[in-house]
Amino acid sequence: PNSWTVYYQTFRIIVELLLLYTFYKGIIPEQATFEGLNFDIVMGIAAPFMAYFVFGDNVKNLALAKAWNILGILMVLFVAVIIGTTYYLPHLWGSETALTQPEFLTMPYLLIAGFLAPSAIFMHVVSLIQLRK
């Protein structure tokens, strides 16, 4: 069903809490969390409502469904840009040194960027493909 790919996005709440924990450990900067510039948690909170009210048995609003999926992809990419620039281009954030610690590129933190973020994008793409049918 169309709604399953959207219900899946609720895992983003847990990912955002993991990012917050990672910030509290001093590994990533505040900008990468929902206390900073990362509002991806909204996608996770909105997912069950979108799945129920928009995707349900029949897609009730095709334009809204497509827009939600595209916005979800953009949100993940925005967070990736934040984390990437705080590591590789810290001068964009007014710092001389990297704001993201090299520890973020090791396990288990690597799962966030290496598995969880791509899986969110993948499920949005699957949802967009389903909407084309």
Mean pLDDT is lowest, of 21-35, 55-69, 100-114, for: 55-69
Query: Measured between alpha carbons, how far is 104 from 87 in angstroms, rounded to an integer?
Result: 10
Q: Mean pLDDT for the chain? A: 91
Query: Measured between alpha carbons, how far is 73 from 68 in angstroms, rounded to an integer?
Result: 9
Give the per-residue pLDDT at 36.
86
Q: Which long-range contacts (CB under 8 A, 24 or more apart) does 112-116 make?
A: 112/15, 112/18, 112/19, 112/22, 113/80, 113/83, 116/11, 116/15
Nearest Cα to Cα of residue 71 among 87, 95, 47, 94: 47
Give the per-residue pLDDT at 99.
92
CA angle 79, 39, 46 (to 5 degrees): 120
Sorting pLDDT into bands at 50, 70 and 90, what band is 45? very high
Give the per-residue pLDDT at 128.
94
pLDDT single digits (tens) 58-84: 778 888 889 999 999 999 999 999 999
State the pTM of this model: 0.87
Averaged pLDDT for residues 108-126:
93
